[in-house]
Structure formats: structure tokens, C-alpha cells
């Protein structure tokens, strides 16, 4: 099979006509352009475009050569996908359909599968919520031989969340007083959900003016507290409980 660089001379509803600079024009049928069922020929391909295609048959019965851009493209696509996998590139994809145990999205014209557990960094109860949605993904498997492309939205969602948290932390100031809710109690202190969506640690030594053995002596989960930021280090916030002053 020979690969050629050809100029598009016409785009119809179901095929692209290319100039083979030979005795006949070449025809690339829609099915041979892309695997993506949503592929819009009129939007994606225009007369004058240069297209690489593989000769599939020398004659279609009407004197035209039949070409496959899909075959030529897939060779290049798998190279790109392997590169994305190695470099952990984050790319946006549109969910094309929801299938058993996950979702389907097309990347570089290749059908990819996103397992349900990897659609987000959180548990997804209703997969249908993702139908038609555009999400950011990384390539985790790109196997050309088995034609297996597996994508994951988990890492990109996690990174995005961490970036947003870091931005919020950067705006925090030591000395700021704010309200929060006790989330969990540990032997060494209490984790407090602050009103701005961040979480901070109220060390056991910073909970009461009196020495206590365990945070549970003074606090309970779900309790509202007023705290002061006393330190910010390595993306972690340290807090001091502000107790009401006695008259």
C-alpha cells in the first residue's frame, strides 16, 4: 500500500475527492476518514487542504481510486497517543457515549475507553451525568496491536483540584480569624473544614487553654469553631482555637 499527500478538490456529504495528480481522482469515503461517528466532513476538511491517504484499491468501478485516510492517519495517531502516554499529556475529550462500566471518547480519531472508576477523582454514582461532557484526560494505555486505547480523567481532576487548593492557600494570611466545622478527630488534633473550602489542623495543644489528652474531651465532629491561622507550611494550615473570653 502506498501513502500519498493529496490535495482536496471537493467535499461531498459522504466522501472527499482528492487530486492524485494521476489519470484519475481519488475518493475517500466518510467511513475511511475517521472512526469518530460525530466527524463532520464539511467542518474538518476543505478544498485546498493537503491530505495523506493510503491507496486501498486501484479502481472503484467508476474509474476513481479508493483511498483510506483513516489507515494512514491511524499509523500517525498511535504514534501521537504513545507519546501522550509517555509524557502524561493532559488533553480535553468529549464523552461520545456511556457504555457498560465506563465511557467512550475519541482521541486523534481513535475510539478510547474510560473506566467508570477513572472518569473523575471521586466516585461517580450516575455515569449518564458525563454523557456529552468534555473532560480532561491522560492516556494510560495505547496498544496499537490490540487497538486498545484507555483514558483516565482521575489524574487531571486531582491536579486541577490541587492547583485550586494551592491558589486558595496562597491567599491565606497568618493571623486571619475564621469560622469552620470540625471534620475529624485524631489523637494529635482535629481537622477543621474552613469556610473558604480549605482544611486545617487544630493541634491538640491549640484547642484549649488547659492541657487535654484528646481533642474529643472538648470538641465533637460537626461542631462549629472559630479559629486563627497560626502557620502555613508545605500547603498545610495550622490553626489555634479562639475560645470565647470569660467576662
Residue 56 and residue 1 in contact, taking contact as beta carbons nearer than 8 Å: yes
**Whole-prediction pTM value?**
0.54
Q: What is the pLDDT of residues 6-25, one digit of tens each?
A: 666 677 677 766 666 655 55
* Residue 25 confidence (pLDDT): 58
Residue 85 exposure: Cα atoms within 13 Å on the Cβ side = 18
Q: What is the pLDDT of residues 211-232, one digit of tens each?
A: 888 988 888 899 999 999 998 8
Task: Using a pLDDT cut of 70, give the percent of the chain over it.
Answer: 77
pLDDT band at 43 (very low <50, low <70, confident <90, very high): confident
* Residue 1 confidence (pLDDT): 44
The residue written with cell numbers 468501478 in the block is 61
Amino acid at each position: 500500500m502506498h501513502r500519498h499527500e493529496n490535495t482536496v478538490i471537493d467535499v461531498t456529504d459522504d466522501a472527499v475527492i482528492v487530486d492524485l495528480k494521476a489519470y484519475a481522482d481519488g475518493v475517500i469515503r466518510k467511513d475511511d476518514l475517521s472512526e469518530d461517528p460525530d466527524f463532520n466532513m464539511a467542518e474538518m476538511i476543505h478544498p485546498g487542504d493537503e491530505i495523506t491517504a493510503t491507496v486501498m484499491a486501484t479502481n472503484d468501478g467508476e474509474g476513481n481510486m479508493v483511498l483510506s485516510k483513516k489507515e494512514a492517519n491511524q499509523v500517525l495517531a498511535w504514534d501521537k497517543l504513545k507519546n501522550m502516554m509517555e509524557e502524561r499529556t493532559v488533553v480535553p475529550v468529549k464523552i461520545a457515549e456511556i457504555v457498560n462500566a465506563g465511557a467512550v471518547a475519541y482521541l486523534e480519531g481513535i475510539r478510547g475507553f474510560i473506566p467508570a472508576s477513572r472518569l473523575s477523582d471521586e466516585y461517580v454514582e450516575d455515569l449518564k451525568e458525563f454523557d456529552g461532557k468534555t473532560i480532561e484526560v491522560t492516556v494510560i494505555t495505547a496498544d496499537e496491536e490490540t487497538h486498545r486505547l484507555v483514558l483516565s480523567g482521575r489524574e487531571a481532576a486531582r491536579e486541577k483540584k490541587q492547583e485550586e487548593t494551592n491558589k486558595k492557600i496562597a491567599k491565606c494570611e497568618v493571623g486571619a480569624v475564621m469560622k469552620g466545622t470540625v471534620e475529624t478527630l485524631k489523637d494529635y488534633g482535629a481537622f477543621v473544614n474552613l469556610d473558604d473550602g480549605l482544611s486545617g489542623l487544630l493541634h491538640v495543644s491549640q484547642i484549649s487553654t488547659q492541657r487535654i489528652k484528646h481533642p474529643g474531651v472538648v470538641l465533637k465532629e460537626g461542631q462549629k469553631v472559630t479559629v486563627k491561622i497560626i502557620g502555613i507550611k508545605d500547603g498545610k494550615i495550622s490553626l489555634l482555637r479562639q475560645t470565647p473570653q470569660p467576662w
